[in-house]
Structure 1
Amino acid sequence: MSVKSKPFTLHEDWAVVILGALVIVLSLFFYIVPVPVFKWRNTTELMSVVLTAGNLKIVLIQFVFVCFIGIAGARITGKSVRNFVAGFPFVYLLTIIALLIAGNSTMRSLNLEAVIFSLVIGLVIGNFFKLPQWFRDMLSTELFVKIGLVLLGTTIIFSDILKAGSLGLIQALIVVLSVWYFAFWLCRKFKIDDDLTMMISSAVSICGVSAAIATSGAIKGDPKKLSYVISMVLITAIPMMIFMPYIANYFNFPQEVTGAWLGGSIDTTGAVVASGSLVGEEALKISTIVKFSQNVLLGIAAFAISIYWSYRKTDGADTVEKPTLKVIWDRFPKFVLAFVAASLLFSFAVSAETAAGVKDSLKNMQNAWFTLAFTSIGLETNFKDLFKNENKKPLYAFLLAQLFNVIITLIIAFILFN
């Protein structure tokens, strides 16, 4: 009697390492996925630039490429390839709608990123329509997020630390360390769970959305909690982006100090650039340098958090133990190694000309994976989960940590840049 062999499968983290490497290798040596246009100001521009046959063809090419990687991911992680092929086009279509909304000039001026729209669209559909179980099982949120994180590593260039300047790097180190530990202590005082504590601390202190996503991946965090943290980041960035430049102008802060303050305390890069532009050219330059310095620290922070979490957490318990190196290795999120490897590759092995040629494509692919992930999070999240009473404590902790961030960053900016 013949015995049917069990198909070969990999743990999701190792699958992400392979798939992320595959995207990078294909981009470097075989095919650069073209970048579709999603930016538009009015209906005329939407029809004549975004919804043209040429641009829609590029969107289709991107779909085929991403779908191919997704099918490979479903196959090697043991998920149903048939269900993925049947359900993924719908998820991709929702993601494209989110990118189109975010591409509007009004939304861009408010710094509303595509991930927030993909999350909202997913939430609406997931809560008002009954989705079949096979479709929910098909959603590969963690896979999408982690592939995006590996591609994020290609933008974290170590040589750019030098370009950021000594003062910008010093401020970034002080702010990240002090704000992270304050937020961590505050969350402990509020008795917030470990997942949210780590995500809030990283989001407030490092670089907002990217830091929250990287931390969630490193600690295998709950995607629903991640969506809540990112919603807080994006919502608070808007009033900060608008009012902080006016506060600086009212008190006649020097442009250098204002730029360092904006760059060190506003959590999203787009909001930093927008607010720096409201102040002046020098403020814009300094704010970008400081923010860039914080972004560079993301890789180091993700690696440190991964080791801490692997060492501290036990399987099914919250007690502290001293595991062996083998246990730490087994728990360590392997995608972080791919993230660091991608950063090292583009920092020291890939020529500047080659990196410049694939930069936009890889950045676009990274954004696509993140947006797909948040569409999936929305589709599998219940509205009620985001607005329970216990969610008030994380909100209070986040706002207080952000207030501390604003104050301590202003003090450091005056000391270093005045």
Structure 2
Amino acid sequence: MSTKPFAISEDWVVVILGLAIIILALSGVIIPKPSFSWADSAALTNKVLSFDNLKIIGAQFGLVYITAIVGAVLLRKDLKALLIVFPIVMILTVIALIIAGNETVKNYNLEAVIFSLAIGLIISNCFKLPLWFKDALSTELYVKIGLVLLGTTVIFGDILKAGSLGLIQALLVVVSVWYFAYWVCRKLKIDKEMSLMLSSAVSICGVSAAIATSGAIKGDTKKLSYVISLVLITAIPMMIFMPYLAEWMNLPQEVTGAWLGGSIDTTGAVVASGSLVGEEALKISTIVKFSQNVLLGIAAFFISIYWTYSKSVDDETKKDKPTLKLIWDRFPKFVVGFVFVSLMFSFIVSPEANNMVKDSLKSIQGLWFALAFTSIGLETNFKDLFKQDNKKPLYAFIVAQTFNIVVTLMIAMALFG
């Protein structure tokens, strides 16, 4: 009789935790969306830092803290370190949310995740964090929970109402950019694991695609963190300057929205840049980005098949027989959760129930993403990004992203112009 303890994979834990948060909300446990908007010190004190608002922030903290603890228990991680580290990450994240809520900052469309990342990077690059602290940072867990919750906003009907153009563009961009990025990586003799993660990140949907690909091939965490850092760092200037470039080019809002949605890798940055242009651009950019998100599961499935049958993977993988079970084992289960939640909110949850919980769930989803980006910053050291050995992936990413911007613009003009 086997004495091996029962264990649940991180992806299934994410699905369980994400669905638990959603079911709680649908059952009536709804935490209001806290306010972080302020224009001056008086508004900051009387509104953001008011007792009532702090209670709401505290309630959100309680929810995510308990969720993180349950996740750590299910994954058999060091609970003692988490109990210390998570509140620190939360405090830093709240500071980022407050900074992003300033009226002047909002005028520049700078999101909280940017400040979360920046605060984490400043701390990690100015101070040497102990290993136990970094080991307690569950970046992938936080991002994946946020992605499952993101499914509550990816309504299939909204995509269909916009016609098939968004899906057509998403398919054309993903296929063409992915193959070009992979070709560049292989020409630069970048290892296959890094090449797959980088190509998916550039072509599909940034962080979530990199995570899905890493899960599909059981990728190295350090390589994944490197790709995620590249995605987030390049998303910032793209998010800020592309809307102004579109205005200089006198592009219609529909074309601009399709361009932004297909080029910028992170969903939050797409929403921010689309808002800067206008309502129509925001709608189209969101639909195009969501269309790429829908393709995430399909891409992860085929990457799983490719990796399993590849002849040039590591020795351990070569020993595994290429069976459907192995492919399923490598398939990122959190994608299943994302699709399930999307279908659930598209066809099962009533519009009335959706209206009751959507603001709360969207706020909590944003909080998980912000927590993840704070953690990424705390894990990342710029010295690691620019080491000699890491320059080739950096060059490949820049070349592939440039190709992505140009090709996506051409496709957007052809379909939406």
Task: Say yes or no: TM over 0.5.
Answer: yes
Question: 1:84 is aligned with what amino acid?
Answer: L
Q: Which one-letter code corresponds to 1:342 in the other structure?
A: V
Question: Displacement, 1:387?
Answer: 2.3
| Deviating more after overlay: 224-233 vs 71-80 | 224-233
Residues 213-232 of structure 1 aligned to structure 2 (within 5 Å):
213-232=211-230
Partner of residue 325, structure 1: 324
Shift of 1:74: 1.8
Q: C-alpha separation between the residues in 1 aligned to 2:209 and 2:107?
A: 22
Alignment correspondent of 2:343:
344
Change (3 A) 1:377 1:403: closer
Instruction: Summarize deviations over 1:210-233 as a string: whole Å, max 9, x none.
Output: 434444444444454444434433
Secondary structure in structure 2 of the residue aligned to 1:159: helix
Partner residue in 1 for 2:24: 26
2:396 corresponds to which residue?
397
Q: Does the 8 Å CA contact 1:164/1:292 hold for their aligned counterparts?
A: no
Where structure 1 has 5 or more consecutive residues not aligned to the other structure, the ranges are none
Tell me the equivalent position of 1:384: 383
Partners of 1:223 and 1:377 within 8 A in 2: no
1:363 corresponding residue in structure 2: 362
Partner of 2:74 in structure 1?
76
> 1:265: Cα distance to partner?
2.5
Going from structure 1 to structure 2, the CA distance change for 1:27 and 1:407 (only over 3 Å counts) comes to same
SS in 1 for 2:30: coil
Q: Which residue of 1 aligns with 2:406?
A: 407
Indicate if the aligned counterparts of 2:207 and 2:228 stay in contact, CA closer than 8 A: yes
Contact preservation (8 Å) 1:314, 1:321: no
Letter in 2 for 1:340: V
Q: Give CA deviations for 1:133-153 in whole Å, capped at 9, x if unaligned.
A: 544443333322322222223
Shift of 1:182: 1.3
Q: Distance in 2 between matches of 1:244 and 1:144?
A: 29
Match of 1:192, SS state, is coil
Identity value in percent:
69
User: 1:62 offset after TM fit, Å?
Assistant: 1.0
User: CA shift at 1:388, angstroms?
Assistant: 1.1
Alpha-carbon distance in structure 2 between the residues aligned to 1:381 and 1:250: 35
Q: Does residue 159 in structure 1 map to residue 135 in structure 2?
A: no
- When normalised by structure 1's length, the TM-score is 0.84
Listed one character per residue, the Cα deviations across residues 195-246 of structure 1 (whole Å, up to 9, x for unaligned) are: 4323332332233344344444444444544444344334434444455455
Matches within 5 A, 1:194-205: 194-205=192-203
What corresponds to 1:149 in structure 2? Answer: 147
Alignment match, 2:333: 334
CA offset digits 1:53-102 (Å, max 9, x no partner): 11111111111111111221222222233333233222221222222233
Rounded Cα–Cα distance in structure 2 between residues aligned with 1:320 and 1:411: 44
Deviation at 1:28, TM superposition (A): 1.6
Do the aligned partners of residues 209 and 356 (structure 1) sit closer, same or farther apart at CA in structure 2, a change above 3 Å counting?
farther
Judged with a 3 Å threshold, the aligned counterparts in structure 2 of structure 1 residues 71 and 288 are, in CA distance, closer, same or farther, namely: closer
CA RMSD of aligned residues (A): 3.3
Cα–Cα, structure 1 residues 146 and 386, in superposed 2: closer, same or farther, change >3 Å? Answer: same
Of 225-234 and 353-362, more deviation after overlay is shown by 225-234
Over 3 Å counting, the alpha-carbon distance change for 1:365 and 1:137 in structure 2 is same
Q: Which stretch has the larger CA shift, 240-249 or 145-154?
A: 240-249
Instruction: Give me the whole-angstrom Cα distance separating, in 2, the residues matched to 1:273 and 1:143.
Output: 23
Q: 108, 118, 122: which is aligned to 1:120?
A: 118
Which residue matches 2:97?
99
Q: Does 1:193 align with 2:191?
A: yes
Paired residue secondary structure (2:24): helix
- TM superposition score normalised by structure 2: 0.84
Contact 2:188 2:392 in 1 (8 A): yes
Alpha carbons of structure 1 residues 12 and 20: separation in structure 2 relative to 1, 3 Å:
same
Distance 1:191 1:54 in 2: 56
Rate the CA distance shift 1:9–1:265 in 2: closer, same or farther, 3 A.
closer
Question: Paired residue for 1:267?
Answer: 265
Which residue of structure 2 lines up, in the alignment, with residue 168 of structure 1?
Answer: 166
Contact kept, 8 Å, 2:215 with 2:330, in 1: the verdict is no
SS of the aligned residue for 2:156 comes to coil
Matched to 1:144, the amino acid is Y
* CA–CA distance in structure 1, aligned partners of residues 125 and 251 of structure 2: 47
Aligned position for 2:35: 37
Distance 2:149 2:95 in 1: 23
**How far did residue 285 of structure 1 move?**
5.0
Are residues 247 and 314 of structure 1, via their aligned partners in 2, closer, same or farther at CA, if it must alter by over 3 Å? closer
Q: Give the 3 Å change call, closer, same or farther, for CA 394–170 of structure 1 in structure 2.
A: same
Counterpart residue identity of residue 190, structure 2? I
Q: 164, 175, 178: which is aligned to 1:177?
A: 175
